Amino acid sequence: MRICSPQLGLSPGATLGGEVYDREILVRLAGLGVQTGVILPAGLPCPQVPDLHVTRVPLRRGYRWFVSNLVFPPYIGRAYRRQPFDLLRVHSLRFTGPAALAARRLYGLPVPIVAHHHHVDRDRWTNHLERRVVQRCDMIITGSQFARQQLVSELGTPAERIRMVYYGVSPAYHPLPRDKGLAARLALADRRVLLYLGSLKARKNLPVLLRALRLVLQERDDVLLLLAGRGESEAALRQQTAELGLEGAVHFAGFVPEAAKVAWYNLADVFVLPSRLEGFGLVAAEAMACGKPVVASRAGSLPEVIAAGETGILCDPDDAGAFARAILRLLAEPSVADKMGQAGLERARRLFQWDESARRTLALYEEAVRRWQP
């Protein structure tokens, strides 16, 4: 099979869930013999693997969605003329979906369009643009039942056009002893560590975590929260940290590169994820693969990833007290934390494997090609 996939990014060092997903799936599809033509902005890094062929376009990061949708179509058309492909892949409903649909129409491409979708994050363009794209794609693949239901209920997507394949976790994520050098640099001696790893943005709901931490510190004074990531909410979170008197109990770690993430997960006693919206929740699965119990919101896809009461504890995303009680329980009862961590490790190995995700995705691509009618 040959596919064409215009991409915003595919970096070997990417840490954000959507780009990690694209990288891992496309690399493994190439390993299954799929000839993949990637159309990628100039200057962006890309994995170097057989059967993954890259064409560069004159784009840089930071452009608006309508710019990429103007640039990509002729490159898609040229790619088909150079080497016909069987399927056109959309990795972003907004940034590449209109381009794929336009290219098929303009150049008469006799191929199905399959879109990959993570979650609906509403703004003024969601109804005007993304709704129209999903209505015209031949198949949409989501990473959770939650994301599937969102497409049906919020964008009116016909349910029979949607398929679900869980994300995976790289084998690099596994239990390890604490990195002594990293622990020393962060002054973790005699501290119990809560770890959040991800972007610092509004939907991650981190203010509730800071309020929960203040409640935790009323019961014990040996807890440190590591906030590993960056984003537009950082200044507000630093201000809230100061207002709550938490300066000595919160460490803003900044960006953690992909190669270092496993060491950071293995610093944690408890992984925390208070997010209000996740299409899958890759960091929760990675933390579980490292044998860590997870305290997370009962929101979005997280109840699918985390088995409540078995691999972690789920809380109302608005209830700082519930987060505090869950954290205190796991810190006070190491046998419970260890049992949940082991159960999470086993769940990640059983359900969340990139090789299986790629095999199931390829089967769906083959189905889309068989079923497609011009």
Instruction: Find the CATH number of the domain harbouring 46.
Output: 3.40.50.2000
- Sole residue written with tokens 């979708």: 117
pLDDT value for 14: 86
Same-domain check for residues 122 and 194? no
pLDDT in tens, 19-46: 999 999 999 999 999 999 999 999 899 9
Going by C-alpha positions, the residue among 29, 42, 309 that lies closest to residue 168 is: 29
Q: Please tell me the predicted confidence (pLDDT) of residue 70.
A: 92
pLDDT for 63:
66
- Taking the C-alpha atoms of residue 138 and residue 368, their distance in angstroms, rounded to an integer, is 7
Whether residue 35 is found in the same domain as residue 164: yes
| Residues 205 and 333 reside in one and the same domain | yes
Please write the tens of the pLDDT for every residue from 217-247. 999 999 999 999 999 999 999 999 999 999 9
If one counts every other C-beta atom within 10 angstroms of the C-beta of residue 234, the result is 17
Q: What percent of the chain has pLDDT over 70?
A: 99
Question: Which residues make beta-bridge pairs with 251?
Answer: 226
Q: What is the pTM of this model?
A: 0.95
Low-confidence ranges of the chain (pLDDT < 50): none
Mean pLDDT of the chain: 95
* Residue 60 shares a structural domain with residue 7: yes
Say whether both 157 and 197 belong to one domain: no
Q: Do 121 and 248 have their domain in common?
A: no
In terms of residue numbers, what domain contains 265? 180-351
In a domain, 197, yes or no: yes
Encoded tokens for 149: 């239901």
Burial class (CB in 10 A: 0-12, 13-18, 19+), 242: exposed
pLDDT of residue 61: 63
Domain co-membership, 138 together with 205? no
For residue 174, being part of any structural domain is answered with: no
Say which DSSP state 37 is in.
E
Same domain, 136 and 210: no
Percent of the chain residues past pLDDT 90, beyond the cut: 89
Counted domains in the chain: 2
127 and 185 share a domain? no
Half-sphere exposure of 23 (CA within 13 A, CB side): 21
The amino acid that residue 242 corresponds to is: A
For residue 219, the one-letter residue type is: E
What CA–CA distance (Å, rounded) separates 3 from 34?
7
In a domain, 334, yes or no: yes
Distances (CA, A) of 179 to 261, 270, 371: 11, 16, 51
**Within a domain: 79:** yes
Cα 134 from Cα 127, distance rounded (Å): 11
